[in-house]
Structure 1
Amino acid sequence: MSSTLKRNVVQTLTGRPSSDGDGVKLTRVFGGAQAELFDPFLMLDEFGSDEAADYVGGFPSHPHRGFETVTYMLDGRMLHQDHLGNRGLLEPGGVQWMTAGRGIIHSEMPQQDSGRMRGFQLWLNLPAAEKMQPAAYRDLRPDDVPSFSLASGASIKLIAGELNVDGQVLVGAITDRSTRPLYLDLHLQADQTVELPVAAELNALLYLYEGSARIEGEHAAVDIHKGQLARLGEGDRVEMLSGRDGAKLLLIAGKPLREPIVQYGPFVMNRREEIEQALKDYRDGNFGA
């Protein structure tokens, strides 16, 4: 593979309306089917509404095992509480990074009954060797997530990973994961071009949540619009051009695990027997022990 290969778009997806928790309306960008295509990621949801009825029920207490959840808030306030005693208020620009590991029971409840609430939740798989680690939780306040302005005029909030851009290494809030996640929120003004390095060994995705953009691949250019996800092919850099109204995108990349995925709702393991054990542990009150 060339060391200067631009990634092409190999698939585009449009998020589908869904709901979760206590009736929270959301868009499921991907999740469930063909999980191996998104490895190491399992799911991406976008939630957002000005109508309290769409979100006020929140996500009451529920369990997770075997993966990580990353919640990134754009608007509104959400309170996380779990059975380990962790408590954190998620505010605009903040991130909650939860490692479910062997098990955690938590809730995510809105702290408002009017106004806009909007954000994303990403599920990141754990390798088999790490699935039964103790659960952990990190609350990143808005100021904990570094922001950078690029020479191109674009701006970045770097949630996880590192980028070598404009002759400097930009370091995100989270850099210590074996799946090497790169997770950033990229804002472009009208008709701006930006090129970002993405290591060749990482799977890469782009989700456009505002505006429009053209992904300039090595062999073809593909236009994407609000609410569309682009799954990218091989290469080591991503080049894009924003439309006349600018663009806001999530760039998500990670090192694929290439391990079996067996999922049953909020449990993600490698074998059916491990799912059965998770269900037993939860029923018996031994979850996370």
Structure 2
Amino acid sequence: MNAQIEQSETVQQSRQIEQLVEGRATSDGAGVKLTRLLGQDLQRRLDPFLMLDAFASESADDYIAGFPNHPHRGFETLTYLLVGRMRHRDNAGHEGLLETGGMQWMTAGRGIVHSEMPEQKDGLLAGFQLWINLPAADKMVPAWYRDVQSPDIPQFGRAGARVRVLAGASHGVTGPIQRPKTEPLVLDLELPAGTRFEQPLPAGHNAFFYVHGGEVEVAGRIAGRGRMAVLSTNPRADGVALHALADSRVLLVAGAPLGEAIVQHGPFVMNSREQIEQAVYDYQHGRFGFNNSD
């Protein structure tokens, strides 16, 4: 789905890069090698976002064991594949297959047990998983997910840039996922060298971007490949302007903070220790699943 924008939306004053973050090598699931860019140390600063992992490998040994059955409660996830294939199954019998350029949005809500397993035995696998918090009032909603394959992700061109809208809206182009409380904006940007891309942002939203190819400059500060940039919250700034110093790929993320307590225990994110204890109990007693209303 392509949509060429006609209206002009410019940024008068760009936010600045407040902090550059170098990802931490880690592993998850059955030993899948990841780079953790956003972790618990930044959860309050980048509320409502809880975690961002990047994965990229040409060696099947780094990822083929995948993520066998594991639980979640209390938040949402966006999984986006730049290249490769990933099959997911849950404990209610649902399954789907993500392919290159596709995404999955999952609402864990009151609880789900699922697996995410790469299908190929060799070749490149690359992508991201972003965790987005749920408001306290929505922590126990029924689990839900949606797969969106690459042809169904809206995209547009602007001044040489190619923009894919995964969530929210950009320059009049609306993505497949909308959330009225956290208002997430997630854009995949391809910026040829010399391109300038401007994205208006609400003053109260937290925002960051990750450079997974090339090098970009924002308000005089440079972010190179492999760096995540936390953007300032200057109330006078009306958005962000990114200038590509080389052919670049950037994941740009913004959202409305919830301002609520965050208590995380592994795959459970709630608002209190008592709720975490209940989540562990419910999981151990088989109360996670699409059809369970306990």
Give the TM-score band, short-chain normalised.
over 0.9
Shift of 1:177: 4.1
Q: Tell me the residue number matched to 2:263.
A: 262
> Residues 151-170 of structure 1, C-alpha deviation per residue, up to 9 Å, x if partnerless?
x1101010000123xxxx11
Q: Does 1:162 align with 2:157?
A: no
Aligned equivalents of 2:42, 2:209: Cα separation in 1 = 17
The one-letter code of the counterpart of 2:70 is H
Q: Does 1:283 align with 2:284?
A: yes
Aligned equivalents of 1:25, 1:266: Cα separation in 2 = 18
Aligned-residue Cα RMSD (Å) equals 1.1
Q: Tell me the residue number matched to 1:11.
A: 19
Aligned equivalents of 1:201, 1:143: Cα separation in 2 = 32
Identical positions, percent: 51
Higher strand share: 1
The one-letter code of the counterpart of 1:146 is P
Q: Tell me the residue number matched to 2:231.
A: 232
> Residues 96-148 of structure 1, C-alpha deviation per residue, up to 9 Å, x if partnerless?
10000000000000101000000000000000000000000101111111111
Q: Is the 8 A contact 1:39 1:258 kept in 2?
A: yes
Q: Tell me the residue number matched to 2:247.
A: 246
Aligned equivalents of 1:246, 1:271: Cα separation in 2 = 45
Q: Does 1:23 align with 2:26?
A: no
Aligned equivalents of 1:278, 1:74: Cα separation in 2 = 33
1:42-191 counterparts in 2 under 5 A?
42-150=50-158, 152-164=159-171, 169-191=172-194
Secondary structure, in 3 states, of the residue corresponding to 1:36?
coil
Secondary structure, in 3 states, of the residue corresponding to 1:17?
strand
5+ residue gaps, structure 2, are: 1-10
> Residues 17-50 of structure 1, C-alpha deviation per residue, up to 9 Å, x if partnerless?
1100001001001112241011000000001100
Secondary structure, in 3 states, of the residue corresponding to 2:258?
coil
The one-letter code of the counterpart of 1:229 is M
Aligned equivalents of 1:249, 1:205: Cα separation in 2 = 10
5+ residue gaps, structure 1, are: none
Aligned equivalents of 1:256, 1:92: Cα separation in 2 = 31
Q: Is the 8 A contact 1:162 1:171 kept in 2?
A: yes
Shift of 1:274: 0.1
Secondary structure, in 3 states, of the residue corresponding to 2:30?
coil
The one-letter code of the counterpart of 2:62 is D
Shift of 1:86: 1.9
The one-letter code of the counterpart of 1:111 is E
Secondary structure, in 3 states, of the residue corresponding to 2:280?
helix
Q: Does 1:213 align with 2:219?
A: no
Shift of 1:85: 2.3
Moved more, 261-270 or 173-182: 173-182
Aligned equivalents of 1:176, 1:254: Cα separation in 2 = 10
Aligned equivalents of 1:285, 1:109: Cα separation in 2 = 22
Moved more, 227-236 or 253-262: 227-236
Secondary structure, in 3 states, of the residue corresponding to 2:260?
coil
Q: Is the 8 A contact 1:86 1:137 kept in 2?
A: no
Aligned equivalents of 1:197, 1:283: Cα separation in 2 = 45
The one-letter code of the counterpart of 1:249 is V
Shift of 1:240: 1.4
Moved more, 84-93 or 60-69: 84-93
Aligned equivalents of 1:174, 1:143: Cα separation in 2 = 15
Aligned equivalents of 2:216, 2:20: Cα separation in 1 = 13
After TM superposition, the runs of 4+ consecutive aligned structure 1 residues lying more than 6 A away are none
